[in-house]
Amino acid sequence: AMADALTAIFKPVLENGEPVVDVLVNGETPAQPGVPRIWRNNYLPFRSETGEVIGLLAVIVDVTKTETLKDDLKDARYRYERAIEGSNLGIWDWTVSTGNVWFSDRWQTMLGYEPGELAPHVSSWEQGVHPDDWPIVNASLQPHLDGLAPEYSCEHRVRCKDGGWLWIHDRGKVVERDAQG
């Protein structure tokens, strides 16, 4: 059955001289029956000096681990997205050294913005924090950034697109530090 499937894949190479590349094939080997494998197949025409197709070159790579990891990652991402969606939380990820921030769609829409409408920079958040709330924000944020507190957590107001204020409980945690801390 696998031989028939492979013949169907590489037949155009022999008949028309057309390469067939990056075809995934699932199957088992006689050495490991019952163990599913995945191969990435590439077939190229082998030509005579006159250009006639006289055979084919096959490059077949076992990609079982890679494809399995891709499937696992896809499943994990799906579960993560459903969990975040169900929690109704706004999520952010801040790269302190550059100031770049990824804001989840929910983080933006809870403030009345369309996804992608806010600049992906910490200044978008800084400009939105209520001026009277900066002392409480800094009292929690700076000790955490300095490595003196295990996490950043505070309640403060953020300006919405319509000019109103939304009280949020903002939390974060440094997950990686550079050589300078």
- Residuewise pLDDT in 10s, the chain (181 residues): 677 778 888 888 888 899 999 999 998 888 889 999 999 999 999 999 999 999 999 999 999 999 999 999 999 999 988 888 888 889 999 999 999 999 999 999 999 999 999 999 999 999 999 999 999 999 999 999 999 999 999 999 999 999 999 999 999 999 998 888 8
The whole-model pTM stands at 0.62
CB of 168 closer than 8 Å to CB of 141: no
Which residue matches tokens 């590489």? 10
